[in-house]
Structure 1
Amino acid sequence: MLQLTASYIDSLAPNAAAIKNGQGLVKKKSLVQLNCSETGELLFGECSGSGKSNYVCSVDFIIQDKPVYRCTCPSRQFPCKHVLGLMYAYSDGMKFTVAAIPEDISVKREKAEKREETKAEQESGTAELKPKKVNKSALKKKITAQLEGLDVLEKLILSLIRSGLGTIDNKMLKNIHEHVKQMGNYYLSGAQTELRRFALLLADDRDREESYTYAAEQLTELHAFIKKGRAYLINKQEDPELTLDHESTMEEWLGHAWQLTELKAFGKVREGVELLQLAFFSYDDAARQEFVDHGYWLELLNGEIHRTVQYRPHKAAKHLREDDSFFEIAQISMLYKYPGEMNARVRYEQMTPRPVTAGDVAEIGDKAHRSYAEVIKKVKNQLKNPLSDKTPVLLLHAAKLGRTASGQFAITDESGYQLVLEDISALPEGTVGLLPYLDAAQVDNSSILVMFEHRMDQGRLVAQPLTIVKDAAITRLLY
């Protein structure tokens, strides 16, 4: 018998409005037909709507952790309010009549089973992996266009550097925004985002001196991308196979969206991985014009900190389900890892949750870095590359939490090395203000997940605490 709870159905909904509308259909008795399969894993029925004909909806739990939603309504949300209403009706105990599975669903089930079989064969290695075929002629034209775009961008950047940031007025800002549009035409999505971020920094109402400092850093990043991107594209033109670079983030800077088949072909995959999410946050990235859902996960076996990222474009955000905090262990049969340095992005298609045990929490402490001097050296080495992630996240062992002579919070390692804790601009919320509410016993001799940021205007490296792990307790300051 299928078990559905209201909280579980809520977790499947794309947003709060969909939950309200789905429950509203049940209250209004808009579901005019309720059926289930003999085995109970398929719910299907009809719901009256604004049209002449009823909407036919169904939810198939033949694969328990991957329900399939279907509806004849024009909504772009999955699941739509009609499917949610169907599930809420079931969880509320409404009567469902056993009926034969509709023929169209049977056909779709067969096709889905074949896809799952093929996927299973690929994951087990028994089937030949077939990456997407590359149209080399089209790719060469794209590379030529990208090189032209880099030339256009370079002229703009050099002009801004010669003139100085203080001379940028509304007319120049308009010119920069015109170049932002052009970067899209030249297939340079990474440059497009960062150039828009540069324009937003100058238009910001923050302290002018601070804006100039970070705008200068943005120009440095764009200039580095022009040099490295041009060299990379020229070399790629000379490669008869036009091979993708699977070690650096250059392909993503140039707008390439990695396919899972490509990552697997390059060996960027791990099997039988267990991940524990230690931090999660969402924010609106105005430069990307997208909402971003960010999760940081600890791989229990080796202690690496990975990140999951979901982008939800502003125009389509209401149709996409927002990610959320996850408090269990994710058991993943196949983990795909994107090119990158520290905190490389990962992705998976399926996972099985299991409760966190005391043994899992004990392992977290074993994976924490104990020497801050080594950690700082590692972070600085990453920050030397202008195209690297500027906010690396690491798990540190904190022998003690205290305050500096100036009153700032700081954690100390076993050798006495202090690391100042401050809220950073890269995160949507501060957490340092929560530290006074914690007892020293909760922090001393603990493991703390921190995000680093280099304060360009002050020449300092600071860290913001995200999560504190002590004994059997995991205290999230940001989730």
Structure 2
Amino acid sequence: MRTFDEQAIVSIAPNANAVTNGRKLGNSFVKRMKSEDDSLYFGECKGSGKSNYIVSIDFEKEGEPVFRCTCPSRQFPCKHAIGLMFEMKEGKDFETADIPQDIIDKRNKIEAKEKKKAEKEKNTEKPKKTSTVSKAAKTKKVKKQIEGLDLLKDLMNQITNAGVAACVDAAFDKKYDELAKQLGDFYLPGVQIYFKRFLKYLRTIKNSQFIEDIKNNYPKSYIDEIRKDYPNDHIEEHLFDLAVKELTKLRYIEKRARDYLLKKLESDDTNPDDNILYEALGGVWKLEELGEIGLKKDNAVLVELSFLSEFDSVKEEYTDKGYWIDIDSGEINYTANYCPVKAKKYIQRDDSFFGKKCIDKLYFYPANDGENTRIRFESSKDEDLDISDIKKIKSFAKKSISEFIKPAKNILKATLSDNAYAVLFEFKKIGQYEEDIVVEDTEGKQILLKPNSHDSTVIDSLLSLPGKNYLSNQVLFGLAYYDGRLRQICIEPRSIITDDEILRLAY
């Protein structure tokens, strides 16, 4: 019988939380099985879904175990696979069983793919020379990125020593501009954006006329919200807080990314991987690269729950974002279509979609949390949405606020979080208490509903719904976020799902 030791499990796990969560799953395994030839260990594990998760570890290739699981998590390996490793470590009983047909099919598919790849490499002219040149270029780029992080570290130390408030002084402006430009030269476009956003907030504080424009042109409701925690019209304090947040992200990347890049050089592997720092530094994924590391799903059926468009004045770019639910698994992820202002006439913008999309190949972008990740697909077959689809979507809703609040906190507190966590849950009623709009679940727990921007469209729509039946005993889809001024998690409501419709509050 095969086994794992503690050190091996820890080294394979994506993070410490996955180890902790996997270790706790012992009592959740209802079946433990292994093949007669000892090449496959698999089992059934109880989870949050209606059906047990089927998890397996395939040892067909010695020294290269393959982890599979039917759970919706995009962590690799997931906590259920780690739990199965702990079951093997502890010497639990595994009954002998036949290898499932789907595993046999996957093995055959991998074998055929590897055979095709080997033939392609064999027939390609001078593959070794091409590979060497490509590898040398990637290595050179990584070394250049490390140089850029060293430059960033020096300035971060200067800012920390002087204090952020002192950086508003005009003497820093030239140095800031030079660094912002240099970060792009060091192959760090992602870091460059964070730094430019930091600069924007600092310079807005300095520009008293711009602050007056905010006061004069933004909706009164937005200014009133700021004044609750920043009295006497101190909008500067609000902008200062935003600047500090961007500085925190820069410091995090500067520290973590250096170790990440040095390890890539040490391992002699400079290819893209599923670490979120790859994108944070400015890396851009190709679909085939996502597929090669297993971040894909075949034959997915998605329904859009919400659509929104945003404009980033720092990047000078529009983002069309759709939140989609997989009606087979209940997993909620999002698509993001980016359109720079300069390329507006060349790029087709996305729009709201009210049917369902049947997708042959769905790709997932890496995310440490494994939830609410960005997805992408090249083509789809569009079909009409029917009542059975809507009922199935409702069946995936959490029964209470308590079910999603903990994972929401874990994700939102991450330094590089975009401060948005998609939630779908049943509610007892939505009502207005004094000046606040609150949603209450069947347990009596409440959470504040408010937009995560100065746009109050969703709240205005909620208050003007044609019938009160929408505001009681339904399902709400929204984006949970942390409100720094109120110091609590709030939800921006996006849609209400009834038995026969998905009512969008904005689209």
Asked if Structure 1 and Structure 2 have the same fold, meaning a TM-score greater than 0.5 normalized by the shorter chain, the answer is yes
Deviation track 1:374-408 (CA, whole Å, cap 9, x = no partner) reads 3121111112320233212221221211233x431
- Aligned partner of residue 466 in structure 1, secondary structure: strand
Distance in 2, matches of 1:457 and 1:163, equals: 26
- State TM-score, norm by structure 1: 0.70
- Partner secondary structure for residue 318 of structure 1: coil
Structure 1 residue 416 corresponds to structure 2 residue 439? no
Q: CA deviation at 1:182?
A: 1.1
Matched, 1:361 2:378: no
- 1-side partners of 2:354 and 2:245: how far apart? 37
Q: 1:465 aligns with which of 478, 481, 493?
A: 493
1:328 aligns to 2:355 (yes or no): yes
Distance 1:173 1:414 in 2: 54
Q: Secondary structure at the match of 2:393?
A: helix
- Give the residue type in structure 2 aligned to 1:203: R
The residue aligned with 2:279 is: 252
Which residue is equivalent to 1:219? 247
Distance 1:428 1:324, change over 3 A: farther
CA 294–170 in structure 1, closer or farther in 2 if over 3 Å, else same: farther
**1:40-439 → structure 2 map (5 Å cutoff):** 128=116, 135-167=134-166, 168-204=168-204, 205=211, 207-246=235-274, 248-340=275-367, 341=369, 342-404=371-433, 406-425=434-453, 430-438=457-465, 439=467
Report runs of 4+ in structure 1 exceeding 3 Å deviation.
124-134, 427-430
Q: Measured at CA, do residues 294 and 174 of structure 1 come closer, stay the same or move farther in structure 2, by a change above 3 Å?
A: farther
CA displacement at 1:202 relative to structure 2: 2.2
**Distance (Å, rounded) in 2 between the aligned partners of 1:402 and 1:456:** 23
Unaligned runs of 5+ in 2: 1-108, 122-129, 205-210, 215-234
TM-score (norm 2): 0.66
Contact 1:283–1:428 (CA<8 Å) still a contact in 2? no
- How big is each residue's C-alpha offset from its partner over 1:278-317, in whole Å with a ceiling of 9 and x where there is no partner? 1112222122221111111111111111111111122111
- Alpha-carbon shift at residue 429 of structure 1 (Å): 5.6
Question: How far apart are the structure 2 equivalents of 1:314 and 1:127?
Answer: 45
Closer/same/farther in 2, CA of residues 446 and 395 from structure 1, 3 Å limit: same
Amino acid across the alignment from 1:475:
L
State the shift of 1:244 in Å: 3.1
**Percent pairwise identity:** 32
One-letter amino acid of the structure 1 residue matched with residue 457 of structure 2: G
Deviating more after overlay: 165-174 vs 359-368? 165-174
Quote the residue 1:9 is aligned against: none
**Number of equivalenced pairs:** 355
- In the TM superposition, residue 183 of structure 1 has moved relative to its aligned partner by 0.9
Counterpart of 2:8?
none
1:421 to 1:224, Cα distance in 2 relative to 1, 3 A: same
RMSD of aligned residue pairs (Cα, Å): 2.3
1:455 equivalent in alignment to 2:483:
yes
Q: Which runs of 5+ in 1 are unaligned?
A: 1-120
Please state which structure has a larger fraction of its residues in helix: 2
Q: Distance in 2 between matches of 1:231 and 1:199?
A: 26
Letter in 1 for 2:193: T
Q: Distance in 2 between matches of 1:386 and 1:430?
A: 28
Provide the rounded CA distance (Å) in 1 between the counterparts of 2:501 and 2:115: 44
Helix, strand or coil for the counterpart of 2:345?
Answer: helix
Counterpart secondary structure, 1:135: helix
Question: Do the aligned residues in 2 keep the contact of 1:402 with 1:411 (CA within 8 Å)?
Answer: yes
For residues 292 and 128 of structure 1, the distance between their equivalents in structure 2, rounded to whole angstroms, comes to 38
SS of the residue corresponding to residue 445 of structure 1 reads strand
Shift of 1:428: 5.6
Q: CA offsets, 1:343-386, max 9 Å, x none?
A: 11111111000000000110111111223123121111112320
SS where residue 299 of structure 2 aligns? strand
